């Protein structure tokens, strides 16, 4: 039977993104969102990667004007890591190390120890607190290919609700109690308002509750706590001082028992300390957080577990967002994988003519499982090789973090240095971080390898020229505040 009606259980960023993606690509479907005002939304999830603008602006082609007006994002060019033994290093979304600059015989990674400090425009802009280069008329070049966003979760969800409603999605404030199913088919949702609802297909976007996939189907959960030891976060905002510019990047700072993010919004800054409750009490974590961030106002604690369900598609249910899995927020990957889930689901329904068979579901589950595991593996190298602090937490991470799928990538790097040859063999073409991600982290943390390269005079001259080119273009770039002003000018038109 062809799917004609869909119920999305959950109205957080996952539920709305799924509903928008389905309705945009399969407008014939009836899509209804059920969300519980009593339970509410998680209210965190502010950092994105370039997958996010790509999904909404390029793949779904949703209007940019309304997005910017309602979601009010700022731009994120990458992550500044206060990590490893150097003061800091920048992991830009632009390509830095897994490419070869003209005139150099080897790829950039081999010259990492030499100037320039920034190996691409993205990193050059980050280093100077600029968001975009300018064109010859001095206007910021607001391109989104290697740029992501910082967005407050509440504003994002409000925008998504507006966009979903515009597309014809029905949104209802209802809490689901009992769920009936026959084998792997959900049949009826019992609402606390006593109504019963059914549909041909269900999207479980109920957050950590995983009401359909976890609670109803009892699907096996793959716990990542053997690799990722953090399970809690203390979150708090602070005002931006007058002299402080809006930073066009997320900061990830090593803390005694985990790490702390800094995310800049237009009018305030949010900080969040992600820690392991096995190594520190909530009170002591809060004390360290406040000692290092005295201006932070009211705080709250969010608990989480890192891991994923074995299958995210069972029968007539697909789980997305936190209901399918969650990997702790270092690298801000949840919204990224969410976009991939929604796109893969919509494409699966289109290609199967809304009549998906078992092999399609098997393929979907394998593909999504690999994407989750690959995030765990990428984060594993962050913990295994961070030598900044010698607290019991970090000693434990260095001694006890298995690399899983990243082990071969690490062994290859150890033997061959920052070679790009690893790309095709050890790093899947579907990998969300690619060789660039691995090299940015290995080189940033100064993980030793056996192929150190000594540049000759000619290579040094090329590097100097590259440094000057990046410095010239990046120094004259526009700050976040300047770029926001430009897009709010009534004469501004989005391409």
CA distance 188 to 469: 62
209 binds ligand FAD (CB under 6 A): yes
356 binds ligand FAD (CB under 6 A): no
| Distant-in-sequence, close-in-space partners of 108: CB < 8 Å, separation ≥ 6 | 96, 97, 98, 99, 100, 101, 119
Residue written as token pair 């993010």: 261
Taking CB under 6 A as the criterion, which residues in 226-245 touch ligand FAD? 233
| Distant-in-sequence, close-in-space partners of 164: CB < 8 Å, separation ≥ 6 | 16, 19, 20, 23, 31, 33, 171
CA distance 18 to 203: 8
CA distance 354 to 347: 10
**Which structure tokens are listed for 278?**
């096995």
306 binds ligand FAD (CB under 6 A): no
Which of residues 148 and 441 has its CB atom nearest to ligand FAD in the complex?
148
10 binds ligand FAD (CB under 6 A): yes
Smallest distance, ligand FAD to C-beta of residue 443, A: 24
CA distance 201 to 8: 9
* SS3 call for 17: helix
41 binds ligand FAD (CB under 6 A): yes
40 binds ligand FAD (CB under 6 A): yes
211 binds ligand FAD (CB under 6 A): yes
**Which structure tokens are listed for 342?**
């929604």
Taking CB under 6 A as the criterion, which residues in 263-282 touch ligand FAD? 272
427 binds ligand FAD (CB under 6 A): no
Which of residues 210 and 354 has its CB atom nearest to ligand FAD in the complex?
210
15 binds ligand FAD (CB under 6 A): yes
- Looking at 304, 383, 385, 442, which residue binds ligand FAD (CB under 6 A)? 304
Phi and psi at residue 268, to the nearest 5°:
-155, 175
**Which structure tokens are listed for 394?**
């970090």
- Looking at 8, 18, 42, 79, which residue binds ligand FAD (CB under 6 A)? 42
- Looking at 6, 7, 45, 131, which residue binds ligand FAD (CB under 6 A)? 45
26 binds ligand FAD (CB under 6 A): no
Residue written as token pair 């007006």: 69
12 binds ligand FAD (CB under 6 A): yes
148 binds ligand FAD (CB under 6 A): no
Taking CB under 6 A as the criterion, which residues in 319-338 touch ligand FAD? 321-323, 329, 332, 334-335
Residue written as token pair 């009170």: 283
- CA torsion sign for 240, 243, 245, 250 is negative
Which of residues 162 and 465 has its CB atom nearest to ligand FAD in the complex?
162
Q: What order do you get walking across the sheet with 30-35 strand by strand?
A: 170-173, 30-35, 5-9, 201-204, 317-319, 313-314
- CA torsion sign for 390, 391, 396, 397 is negative
318 binds ligand FAD (CB under 6 A): no
36 binds ligand FAD (CB under 6 A): yes
Smallest distance, ligand FAD to C-beta of residue 233, A: 4
307 binds ligand FAD (CB under 6 A): no
170 binds ligand FAD (CB under 6 A): no
Interior/surface letters 342-351, b for 16+ CB within 10 angstroms, e for the rest: bbbbbebbee
Which of residues 5 and 423 has its CB atom nearest to ligand FAD in the complex?
5
Other CB atoms within 10 A of residue 388 CB = 17
CA distance 308 to 221: 6
Count interface residues toward ligand FAD (CB under 6 A). Answer: 38
Which of residues 121 and 213 has its CB atom nearest to ligand FAD in the complex?
213
* SS3 call for 484: helix
207 binds ligand FAD (CB under 6 A): yes
Taking CB under 6 A as the criterion, which residues in 175-194 touch ligand FAD? 175-176
- Looking at 30, 153, 277, 365, which residue binds ligand FAD (CB under 6 A)? 153
Which residues sit at the interface with ligand FAD, rule CB under 6 A? Answer: 9-15, 34-36, 39-42, 44-48, 153, 175-176, 205-207, 209, 211, 233, 272, 302, 304, 321-323, 329, 332, 334-335
């Amino acid at each position: 039977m062809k799917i004609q009606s869909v119920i999305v259980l959950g109205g957080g960023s996952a539920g709305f993104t799924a509903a928008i993606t389905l309705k945009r690509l399969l407008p014939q479907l009836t899509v209804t969102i059920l969300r519980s005002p009593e339970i509410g939304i998680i209210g965190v999830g502010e950092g994105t990667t370039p997958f996010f603008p790509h999904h909404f602006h390029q793949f779904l082609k949703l209007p940019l004007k309304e997005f910017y007006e309602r979601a009010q994002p700022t731009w994120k060019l990458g992550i500044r890591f206060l990590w490893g033994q150097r003061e800091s290093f920048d992991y830009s979304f632009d390509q830095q190390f897994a490419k070869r600059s003209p005139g150099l015989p080897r790829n950039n990674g081999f010259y990492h120890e030499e100037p320039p400090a920034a190996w691409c425009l993205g990193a050059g802009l980050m280093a100077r607190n600029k968001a975009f280069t300018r064109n010859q008329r001095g206007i910021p070049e607001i391109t989104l290919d290697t740029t992501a966003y910082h967005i407050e979760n509440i504003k994002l969800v409000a925008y998504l609700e507006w966009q979903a409603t515009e597309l014809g999605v029905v949104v209802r404030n209802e809490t689901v109690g009992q769920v009936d199913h026959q084998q792997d088919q959900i049949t009826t949702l019992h609402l606390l308002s006593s109504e019963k609802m059914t549909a041909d297909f269900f999207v479980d976007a109920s957050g950590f509750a995983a009401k359909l996939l976890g609670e109803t189907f009892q699907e096996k959960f793959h716990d990542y706590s053997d690799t990722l030891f953090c399970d809690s976060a203390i979150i708090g905002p602070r005002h931006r001082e007058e002299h402080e510019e809006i930073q066009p990047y997320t900061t990830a700072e090593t803390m005694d028992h985990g790490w702390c993010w800094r995310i800049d919004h237009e009018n305030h800054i949010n900080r969040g300390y992600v820690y392991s409750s096995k190594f520190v009490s909530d009170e002591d974590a809060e004390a360290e957080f406040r000692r290092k961030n005295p201006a932070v106002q009211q705080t709250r604690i969010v608990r989480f577990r890192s891991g994923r369900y074995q299958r995210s598609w069972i029968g007539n249910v697909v789980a997305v967002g936190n209901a399918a899995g969650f990997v702790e927020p270092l690298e801000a990957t949840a919204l990224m994988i969410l976009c991939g889930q929604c796109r893969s689901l919509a494409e699966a329904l289109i290609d199967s003519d809304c009549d998906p068979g078992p092999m399609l579901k098997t393929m979907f589950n394998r593909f999504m499982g690999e994407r989750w595991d690959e995030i765990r593996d990428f984060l594993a190298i962050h913990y295994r090789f961070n030598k900044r602090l010698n607290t019991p937490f970090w000693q434990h991470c260095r001694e006890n973090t298995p690399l899983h799928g990243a082990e071969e990538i690490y062994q290859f790097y150890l033997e061959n240095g920052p070679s790009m040859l690893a790309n095709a063999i050890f790093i899947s073409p579907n990998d969300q971080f690619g060789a660039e991600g691995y090299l940015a982290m290995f080189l940033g943390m100064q993980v030793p390898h056996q192929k150190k390269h000594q540049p000759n005079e000619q290579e040094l001259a090329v590097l100097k020229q590259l440094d000057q080119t990046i410095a010239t273009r990046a120094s004259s770039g526009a700050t976040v505040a300047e770029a926001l002003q430009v897009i709010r000018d009534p004469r501004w038109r989005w391409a």
